[in-house]
Amino acid sequence: MTDLVLISVLTCSACNARHEEQMPTDACQFFWECPSCKTVVRPKPGDCCVYCSYGTIPCPPIQEGKGCCA
């Protein structure tokens, strides 16, 4: 079993700013407000959370092979 990566870099779909964030391990994150432009992003269709849509690393449940927000 591999260790979970809990830091992901989110890229804002509105302004392309990149921000390092720590992912929660006990919940999915359905919204994220970009610190640069204050746009609130939501997951893309078919993705379960903002980390799976806009992050460099998928959310912890996906990393564990459980499916999102299991």
Residue 15 resides in a domain: yes
Residue 68 resides in a domain: no
**Entry pTM:** 0.87
Residue 70 resides in a domain: no
Residue 24 resides in a domain: yes
Per-residue pLDDT of the chain (70 residues; tens, 9 = 90+): 568 999 999 999 999 999 999 999 877 899 999 999 999 999 999 998 999 999 999 999 888 888 776 5
User: Amino acid identity, residue 39?
Assistant: T
Residue 55 resides in a domain: yes
Distances (CA, A) of 33 to 3, 60, 67, 69: 27, 20, 24, 20
Q: In this structure, how many other beta carbons lie within 10 angstroms of the beta carbon of residue 59?
A: 28
pLDDT in the model for residue 69? 66
Residue 2 resides in a domain: no
Number of domains present in the structure of the chain: 1
DSSP 12-41: -TTT--EEEEEPPSSS----EE-TTT--EE
Residue ranges making up the domain that contains 56: 7-63
